[in-house]
Amino acid sequence: MASKAPFPDVHRIIADSDLDGMCAAVVLKKAYPNAEVHFAHAALIRSGILDDLIDDQTVTVDLPFHPESGWYLDHHLTNKPTDAEYSAFTNKGGMVHWDHTPSAARLAFDLFRDQFSFPHLEDIMPLVDALDSGGISLATFLEDGPLLQLSRTLNYNDVRYMHHLLSLFESCTSMDQIYSDGIVKQRMNEARTTRKDLLKIVEQKTTIIDRLAICRLENTGHRSNGYLITAFAGEKADACCIIHGYSDGEIGNATRPPLSASFYANSFLEDGQNRYDLSRLATRYDPHGGGHANACGCRIQPPGLESNLDGWMAMWNNRNIDLR
């Protein structure tokens, strides 16, 4: 799904705050050096908190579709504009680049690679693709190389650091230059230590039920991606469900986000991906939930966490029908 027109004028870039969003923002900032950049996450778009920032000269990337933006780039299946949304958006002059690429960064990179040079991105794009699409190997995950460490330093709440890193991507020509920056090096060291500590918590908070690893991190202040949970579960689980956030949390609250759930296929198993469409779990109660079949998320909906979990477990127990 792509609009056929020259690239539009852009004065603002709003990107997801993970490594995929960061790399996509790097590409777009190269093409639009005078554009301001904001890092966000899906809930901020869906809740309307960022509505005042989004206009027809805004490009949103690696985030849910917003009808008031001027340009939309993404690769999440559940974010793909409907035919009606696409027609209304393009009829008013909007541009859409949606494709089932392994990452949004890949989509942006391929759009501009013939116009600009991205030597450091050339080197890391295969791993960015693999990391975002669940394609990294167990050996790569356990090795925990510098790019994986860097990916865990990103946080949309840390605006100063996010823009420091963005500026390094703009000015440096190799990843080694970025890794050797004093601030980045400190954050990467912290990321290594934090993962070791988090693994101990995961071991305490994870229960495997019928080959689903359920990690209850709610009200702990900790978050984890699916790789750490499925690496811990090993051959015993086909997928994982991670609960994080706070029972009294609020969208947009940097220190106490609301309760949410993330679902990931165990990509470390042979043929571990695409066994089930986990996005059906993410959209069961939350109409704004979604992502990919193998990696997705949602916010906990009334009447509450335990009820949501019971419903998801019922679907999982009938997964050969409900999640196909």
Q: Where are the domains of the chain?
A: 12-135, 204-322
Per-residue pLDDT of 139-190, as tens digits, reads 999 999 999 999 999 998 899 999 999 999 999 999 999 999 999 999 999 9
Provide, for the chain, the percentages of residues in helix, strand and coil under a 3-state DSSP scheme, each rounded to the nearest 5: 45, 15, 40
Per-residue pLDDT of 94-149, as tens digits, reads 999 999 999 999 999 999 999 998 989 999 999 999 998 888 899 999 999 999 99
Who's near 238: CB < 8 A, 6+ residues apart? 211, 212, 265, 266, 269, 272, 275, 276
Per-residue pLDDT of 278-310, as tens digits, reads 999 999 999 989 888 999 999 999 999 999 999
- Predicted TM-score (pTM) of the model is 0.90
Of 3.40.50, 2.30.30, 2.60.220, 3.10.310, the CATH number of 204-322 is 3.10.310
- Asked if 262 and 247 touch (Cβ cutoff 8 Å), the reply is no
- DSSP character string of 43-91: HHHHTTTTGGG--TTEEEESS---TTSSEEEE--GGGSPPHHHHHHHHH
Fold of 12-135: Rossmann fold (3.40.50)
Instruction: Give whole-number Cα distances, 77 to 65, 74, 156, in Å.
Output: 11, 9, 23
Two tokens at 260?
């949410």
